[in-house]
Amino acid sequence: MLDLSTTQLIPLYLAALVIGFAKTSIGGAGTIAVAVFAAVLPAKESTGIILPLLILGDVFAISFYRRHADWGLLLRLFPHVAVGVVAGAGFVHVVDDTVMRRSIGVLLVLLVVIHLARQRQLRRRGTAPAPMSPRKRHLTAIGFGFLAGFATMVANAGGAPMSIYLFTMGLGVMSFLGTGAWFFFIVNCFKIPFSVGLGLLSADSLLLDLKLVPGVVVGALIGLWVAKRIDKAKFESWVLGLTVVSGLNLLR
C-alpha cells in the first residue's frame, strides 16, 4: 500500500481534496472521493483507509461551523444511527459487497426522487410544508438515522441520507453544515473500533493517510470559501445532484 505509483497517488490526492471540500461545503461531493478510493485501492480496504481522512475533514468542519448545530435534532438521530452502524458492521461479513452496494444505491436514488416529488407538490400548491407532528418526526429520525448509520458503515455513503433528512427538516445552509459537521465527526469516531475489528485500519493505512493530509486541508479551505458565497437553492441542488450521482455509481 505504501508502494503506490505516481499514477495511483495523484487520484488519491485529488480525492483527499474533495473530502476536505465536501466537509466544509457541498457534502454530496464526498461520495466521489469514496468512489475514487475504491477504484484505486481494494474496495474493502479503501473504506478503512478513507476513515481517518474523513475524521480530519470533520475536525475542520466543526471548527468552522460548530456554533450552528441543531443539537435537538442530533440527539434524536444518534440512537438510531448507532443501531445502523452495528447492523452495517454485522452485514459486512454476511452479505455480498455488490448486492449491498447496489441496494444502498437504489435507496439513495429513491430518497432523492421522493424528496423532489414532495417539493414539487408543495410548489404546485403554493404552500410551505406543514410542521411535522412529534410522531412523524420520531419515525423520520428512526428511518433516516438507521439508513445513515448503515450506509456509512458499509460504504461510507451516509452523507446522502443525512443530507436529505436535514433538507426535510428545513435547515438553512449554515445550520445544515454545522449539524452535519458534528454528526459525522461523532459517527465516524464511533466507527473506529468496528473498522479496527474488521481489519480495515492498520499502521500501513495510517501512513498512507499521512501522505494525503495536505489534500484534505486544501480542500477544506476551498470549501469554506465556497460555502460563504452559495445560496440555499443552489446549495440544495448541488447536494441532491451529487447524491443521485453517488447512488447511480453504487449501482454499477
Q: In Å, how far are 141, 154, 195 from 104, measured between CA atoms? A: 18, 9, 19
Instruction: Report the pLDDT value the prediction gives residue 10, as an integer from 0 to 100.
Output: 93
The alpha carbon dihedral of 112, 118, 119, 121 has a sign of: positive
Instruction: Report the pLDDT value the prediction gives residue 101, as an integer from 0 to 100.
Output: 65
Q: What are phi and psi of 41, to 5 degrees?
A: -110, 165
Instruction: Report the pLDDT value the prediction gives residue 55, as an integer from 0 to 100.
Output: 95
Q: How far apart are CA 133 and CA 36, in angstroms?
A: 41
State yes or no: pLDDT of 65 exceeds 60. Answer: yes
Find the mean pLDDT for residues 20-38: 80
Q: How far apart are CA 181 and CA 61, in angstroms?
A: 5
Instruction: Report the pLDDT value the prediction gives residue 185, as an integer from 0 to 100.
Output: 94
Position 66 confidence tier, pLDDT thresholds 50, 70, 90: confident
Instruction: Report the pLDDT value the prediction gives residue 189, as an integer from 0 to 100.
Output: 94
Instruction: Report the pLDDT value the prediction gives residue 130, as an integer from 0 to 100.
Output: 55
Q: How far apart are CA 229 and CA 210, in angstroms?
A: 31
Number of helical (H) and strand (E) elements in the chain, helices listed first: 10, 0
Instruction: Report the pLDDT value the prediction gives residue 209, as an integer from 0 to 100.
Output: 94
Instruction: Report the pLDDT value the prediction gives residue 122, as an integer from 0 to 100.
Output: 57
State yes or no: pLDDT of 126 exceeds 60. Answer: no
Mean pLDDT of the chain: 82
Instruction: Report the pLDDT value the prediction gives residue 38, as an integer from 0 to 100.
Output: 78
Neighbours of 24 (CB within 10 A): 26
Give 159-170 pLDDT, tens digit per residue: 777 877 887 887
Instruction: Report the pLDDT value the prediction gives residue 40, as an integer from 0 to 100.
Output: 83
Could you tell me the three cell numbers for 249?
455509481
**Contact 23/1 with Cβ under 8 angstroms?**
no
Neighbouring residues of 216: CB distance < 8 A, sequence distance ≥ 6: 16, 17, 19, 20, 53, 56, 57, 60
Instruction: Report the pLDDT value the prediction gives residue 250, as an integer from 0 to 100.
Output: 66
Instruction: Report the pLDDT value the prediction gives residue 151, as an integer from 0 to 100.
Output: 81
Q: State the chain's maximal CA–CA distance in angstroms.
A: 59
State yes or no: pLDDT of 127 exceeds 60. Answer: no
State yes or no: pLDDT of 194 exceeds 80. Answer: yes
Most confident of 42-51, 56-65, 121-130: 56-65
Query: DSSP label at 41?
Result: S
Q: In Å, how far are 3, 218, 249 from 48, measured between CA atoms? A: 18, 22, 19
Instruction: Report the pLDDT value the prediction gives residue 219, as an integer from 0 to 100.
Output: 94
